[in-house]
Each structure stands twice: as C-alpha cells, then as structure tokens.
C-alpha cells in the first residue's frame, strides 16, 4: 500500500504517511475516502498531520493533487468542524509551494502549515493542547 493512516492514542491526532510510490492520480482519492471515515470517527477537536516527506512528486502531480484537494469533497473534509489544524510534513520546495497555495482562495482557502518532521508536528500539537 502506498499510504497509511494512524490515529494516535496519546494525542488527538490523525497521521497519514505516503510512501515513495504514492501516485496522486491513482492513490489520492482512496486516501481521501479513508481520511473521511477516520475524520468522522474522531470524537472532539483533532489535528491532521499529512506526512508527504517521502514523496517524489513532479510539478504536474503537485498541481493535480492541489486540484483534487481543493475539490468539493476534499475541501469539505479539510473543513471538518472538529479539525483544528492541518500540518504538512515535506522536504521539497515544490510541496512547500503547494502547501502555501492551499491557503489561496482558488484552492479553497484551507489552513495548512508546513513542518520539517512528524516529531516537530507532534511537538506543535502537544504545545497547543497544553495551552489554555
């Protein structure tokens, strides 16, 4: 399988991780469908960490993924009323550009932040949930 979805027991966090063979053309829609079910199963506010640090996407794949994520079903998924923040782990200037584009109106004005590692994202969540 080209991706995994994990729910943390110690924090209100869902993590998806894609492998190097993840292809947005064939794999993104099944991932989004599974995320929809995982988001629905979360009780209360939660954070979503998308670890795409291993991906080797080209420009066309990033544009296609943005279009799919900005589409009505995916955009609604990322607008889940219990979703506090989306944290994207990536190591590519191209992916960074895509994450920034998500906040633009034409891509749905979604809230997403770039992180260097899953550990950094988890530390961010720990700090946020401990704040009053």
What's the CA dihedral at 54, 8, 85, 27 to 10 degrees? Answer: 40
Residue 5 has pLDDT above 90, yes or no: yes
Which residues are CB-contacts of 35 (< 8 A; sequence separation ≥ 6)? 5, 14, 16, 48, 77
Whichever domain contains 74, its CATH number is 3.30.750.24
pLDDT per residue as tens digits for the range 60-74: 776 676 666 656 566
Domains: count for the chain: 1
Provide the whole-model pTM: 0.84
Sheet with 83-89, strands from edge to edge, namely 3-7, 13-18, 46-51, 83-89, 112-115
Residue 108's pLDDT band (boundaries 50, 70, 90)? low
């Amino acid at each position: 399988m080209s991706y995994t979805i994990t729910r943390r027991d110690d924090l209100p966090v869902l993590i998806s991780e894609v492998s190097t063979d993840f292809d947005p053309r064939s794999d993104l829609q099944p991932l989004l469908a599974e995320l929809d079910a995982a988001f629905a199963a979360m009780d209360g506010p939660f954070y979503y960490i998308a670890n795409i640090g291993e991906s080797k996407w080209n420009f066309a794949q990033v544009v296609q993924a943005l279009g799919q994520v900005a589409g009505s079903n995916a955009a609604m998924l990322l607008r889940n009323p219990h979703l506090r923040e989306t944290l994207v782990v990536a190591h590519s200037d191209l992916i960074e550009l895509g994450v920034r584009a998500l906040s633009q109106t034409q891509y749905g004005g979604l809230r997403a932040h770039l992180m260097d590692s899953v550990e950094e994202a988890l530390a961010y969540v720990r700090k946020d949930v401990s704040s009053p």
